[in-house]
Structure 1
Amino acid sequence: MAAAATIVFVPCWASGHFMSMIAAGKRMVDASGGALSLTVLVMQAPTPAKASEVEGHVRRESAASAGLIDVRFQSLPAVEPPTGCVAPEEFNFRYVQFHAPHVEEAIAGLALPVAAVVVDLFCMQLLDVAGQLAVPRHVYFASTGAFLALMLRLPAIRDDLAVRLRDADAEGTFHVPGLPPVPLAYMPACLSNGGKMRNYEWFEYYGRRLMDASGIILNSSVQLERGVLAAIADGRCVPGRPAPAVHAIGPVVWFSPAHRELEPPHVCVRWLDTQPSGSVVFLCFGSNGFLDEAQVGEAAAGLERSGHRFLWVLRGPPAAGSRDPSPTDADLDAALPAGFQARTQARGLVWPAWAPQKEILAHPAVGGFVTHCGWNSTLESLWFGVPMVPWPLYGEQHLNAFELVREMGVAVQLKGVVGASKVDLWFVEAAELEAAVRGVMGATEEGRKAREKAADLKAACRKAVAEGGSSYVALRKLVRGISPGGGAPSP
């Protein structure tokens, strides 16, 4: 049947945000039973490399959706990047703000009625456009419930947290509603921006704007973050004001093994096909993650001494002089210690470029994951039941790492970083990585418990999104609330 209305999504250009948001939108359309379609307004990314990534995502998603689900992508006119910005979030904020007139014009020109506008966490200034058009406005939050709880608190705790994060020698803990006391070393690195605090005001702004949303669509579930979701719902994050409804519909993991039949398996997957079940530790640090020369040397030594099989996705630093923070393909001969590849070739593969992470984590040969703790990567690991070693690098990843170890119990901690007083000082020595790899692969009681808990959460994640599960029910409640006439099927 023809859709009666459309939901408009405005995603950020970062791959982890863009793809997660599109997958969530598709779920909403599917849950509407044909009452809704999805219109995606695509901003041109501020760098050529990111723009190329987004174009590739749009092509693949358009092809995958053809004839199956009603999704339309509409490119917005290009804008000039802002100049003179002193913090990354200031640049992102102003660049998105420049798109506001184009977003308003695109929405006003749509043929179908607009049931709701959904903007990315980093596009919340566009909530004003939806308000001017008298359209319900939602935020898609591609991170954790814990980070959501913290962001809701930021305006009220500025005088305390901002001062403590500015102090390079600050120690102690901080309270995030719904979590045990969090050491300051686990506070999100994106707030302090290397101790300069230039980003804090922008995240504080986003924390305020969350309260203006009709609802928050969260890529998490009750099974993963019961405590923080209860804290938000109970009003413990913004005392005296009810927070918007949080729709925990996750995990949103966009993966289908069917695509293996459409193209030859990646070289990393072919290598895994030759390895015993559960024998390989996988190392990957996300779309923006890379290690410097000294850290690569320590990691290589730790892997070699661990004695375990490994698949290491090793990226190089961003191109010199480029505004694009994306890693480059690594020169393995220059990056790795002399003789490392020859000594480990019988049990290890180092891959210098992009690799299909979800397909790798789904492979039965993979038994552990050394990860930067990006939330998409974390959910993928949980979805496939792979225990983790958290090695956070940037963003909110340090807080994610705290949850993995303290709340979920699915990870083996890198011992040497526990006492770090500041998140930008986390340097991992070879012995630390060696011990963590051995642990996550089952050599310690901590590792065995993490493996068991990962298997439990794999089942819980799949149950949450299956018919009758908490995320299934939340998704349908969300869609009923925005569908014309409340026409979504009942759970």
Structure 2
Amino acid sequence: MKQSAELVFIPSPGIGHLVATVEVAKLLLSRDDQLFITILIIKFPFSTDGTDAYVESFADSSISHRIKFINLPQQNIETQGNSTINFLNFIDNQQTNVKDVVAKLIESETKNRLAGFVIDMFCTSMIDVANELGVPTYMFFTSPASMLGLLFHLQALRDDHNKDCIEFKDSTADLVVPSYSNPLPAARILPSILFEKETGNRFLNLAKRFRDVKGILINTFTELESHALLSLSSDGKIPPVYPAGPILNVKNDDNNDQVDSKQSKQKSDILKWLDDQPPSSVVFLCFGSMGSFSEDQVKEIARGLEHAGFRFLWSLRQPPPKGQIGMPSDYADHTGVLPEGFLDRTAGVGKVIGWAPQVAILAHPAVGGFVSHCGWNSTLESLWFGVPIATWPLYAEQQANAFQLVTELGIAVEIDMSYRKEGPVVVTAEKIEGGIKELMELDSDVRKRVKQMSDSSKKALMDGGSSYAALGHFIDQI
């Protein structure tokens, strides 16, 4: 009889990373009844993101006896100086705690073999802990395969060819990267973090450590990223990759167990409004948990929406106070930031909201298009429900995601591809209007391709599908 095995997952801090980790854990547990999973939770000292409530919601679940959560001891995070470096140091400082917790786990678990660590991309310092304990490390990569290939390529350029990413910052040169079939306009598309010396080097050091893991689970599927996945598997210096996606939380929208009564009412109002709209008639604008805009940009969006003339549902969030680190929040009153009379003029066709139950909205038949920041989870959700995207990236790898969706795959239209949240550029109402009109064309080639990819995403997870097989190969490894 096969011995039961235990995997220790270490996600980055934050509810988004935890939910993605739990979803892949649930998939693994559903495929192998001899597998047990422990998830180590790193919490920010100031966090009130619903992590505790989310964990509690598993107490009565059918898999509760095979999945457990352990909160690591709280650490302080440096608030002065470079926020990216502070974040990475904060994770690195948990190494001793991880070692202590896992050592106790090994002592207490006599029946389960510790099969290894599964780490998030920001947790590569935990490879050293796994090595000390004599177990392998795997990685769960929550961004696309094309981005993984880009990070490996940039790291090799730096370490093998002495080429610094900062050279691309003001360059008009294109960058040829194996994981993309088209040359990348580097200055417009590379994550801005790479254009700063210290953070860029620290980030590429993470990519260097990716090469030390035994295998990489990626939240993508072969039919979506065949070119990127082929480039990774044929490299020879990259660990085996397992495209097991789309790994999504589409049944349990917005972690329903912890949605409070206020959000529950908001969700009900939104869905009721959508019920009254014709099929595929509404354009949905939502920019992720960190997405917000200046007042100038908000007014341009409003004008673009009004001139485009489509029904719309707009998740409009208030930025944190200038100079402060924080999450966007709901406006007490939208009126002050919108053009005068906008809400009256669009009352029959539009609805401006704050927080949005994104999955429930994308799943609604009235929604015909999605103006998105191109976060990878949002992209996969949109594809799952067959809703085409108009790209408006803000930060992180989102510009590269937008490039892939528009230029590489032809499954999105462009409002903007190189917009940066920290930049001075304001996207004009005319550009927004044009993008929305293109997005909402009902018989466009983009819409047809999105529908095909939606079908492929579901088939990939079924028995005999590409992701189903890849996850099986990963389980065989452990």
Structure 1 partner of 2:275:
273
1:271-323 Cα distance to aligned partner (Å, 9 max, x none): 11111110000000001111111110100000001000000001110145643
1:29-78 Cα distance to aligned partner (Å, 9 max, x none): 1111x1111111111124333xx332233233x15734567211111110
Contact 1:30 1:69 in 2 (8 A): no
Contact 1:185 1:421 in 2 (8 A): no
Distance 1:397 1:121, change over 3 A: same
Whole-Å separation in 1 of the counterparts to 2:255 and 2:98: 37
Q: Partner of 1:464: helix, strand, or coil?
A: helix
Structure 2 partner of 1:57:
54
Name the amino acid aligned to 1:156. Answer: A
Whole-Å separation in 1 of the counterparts to 2:317 and 2:256: 28
Aligned-residue CA RMSD (Å): 2.5
Name the amino acid aligned to 2:53. Answer: G
* Match among 143, 162, 166 for residue 163 of structure 1: 166
Structure 1 partner of 2:150:
150
Q: Using CA pairs below 8 Å that are at least 6 residues apart, which structure has the higher relative contact order?
A: 1
Distance 1:25 1:67, change over 3 A: closer
Confirm or deny that 1:431 pairs with 2:433. no
Confirm or deny that 1:323 pairs with 2:325. yes
Whole-Å separation in 2 of the counterparts to 1:163 and 1:259: 38
Distance 1:364 1:126, change over 3 A: same
Contact 2:141 2:217 in 1 (8 A): yes
Confirm or deny that 1:134 pairs with 2:137. no
Structure 1 partner of 2:92:
97
Structure 1 partner of 2:476:
480
Whole-Å separation in 1 of the counterparts to 2:414 and 2:472: 37
Structure 1 partner of 2:217:
217
Give unpaired runs (5+ residues) of structure 1: 236-240, 483-491
Whole-Å separation in 2 of the counterparts to 1:94 and 1:420: 29
Contact 1:186 1:423 in 2 (8 A): no
Distance 1:468 1:79, change over 3 A: same
Structure 1 stretches of at least 4 aligned residues deviating more than 6 Å after TM superposition: 257-264, 418-423
Confirm or deny that 1:441 pairs with 2:440. yes
Structure 2 partner of 1:41:
40
Structure 2 partner of 1:233:
233
* Match among 320, 334, 337 for residue 335 of structure 1: 337
Contact 2:8 2:40 in 1 (8 A): yes
1:231-286 Cα distance to aligned partner (Å, 9 max, x none): 11111xxxxx5211111100101111699999775322221111111000000000
Between stretches 275-284 and 199-208, larger displacement belongs to 199-208
Whole-Å separation in 2 of the counterparts to 1:37 and 1:211: 26
Name the amino acid aligned to 1:6. Answer: E
Deviation at 1:172, TM superposition (A): 2.6
Whole-Å separation in 2 of the counterparts to 1:442 and 1:175: 33
TM-score by length of 1: 0.88
TM-score by length of 2: 0.90
Distance 1:336 1:217, change over 3 A: same
Q: Partner of 1:276: helix, strand, or coil?
A: coil
Structure 2 partner of 1:349:
351
Taking every aligned residue pair, what percent have the same amino acid on both sides?
36
Structure 2 partner of 1:468:
464
Name the amino acid aligned to 1:440. Answer: L
- Report matched runs for 1:301-312 at 5 Å: 301-312=303-314
Whole-Å separation in 1 of the counterparts to 2:62 and 2:322: 40
Whole-Å separation in 1 of the counterparts to 2:93 and 2:423: 32
Name the amino acid aligned to 2:290. Answer: N
Contact 2:296 2:426 in 1 (8 A): no
Whole-Å separation in 2 of the counterparts to 1:183 and 1:191: 16
Distance 1:10 1:302, change over 3 A: same
Query: Alignment length, in residue pairs?
Result: 461
Contact 1:466 1:472 in 2 (8 A): yes
Structure 1 partner of 2:261:
none
Structure 2 partner of 1:487:
none
Distance 1:260 1:21, change over 3 A: closer
Whole-Å separation in 2 of the counterparts to 1:395 and 1:258: 24
Between stretches 6-15 and 210-219, larger displacement belongs to 6-15
Whole-Å separation in 1 of the counterparts to 2:408 and 2:316: 29
Deviation at 1:26, TM superposition (A): 1.1
Deviation at 1:211, TM superposition (A): 0.5
Give unpaired runs (5+ residues) of structure 2: 258-263
* Match among 243, 248, 264 for residue 248 of structure 1: 243
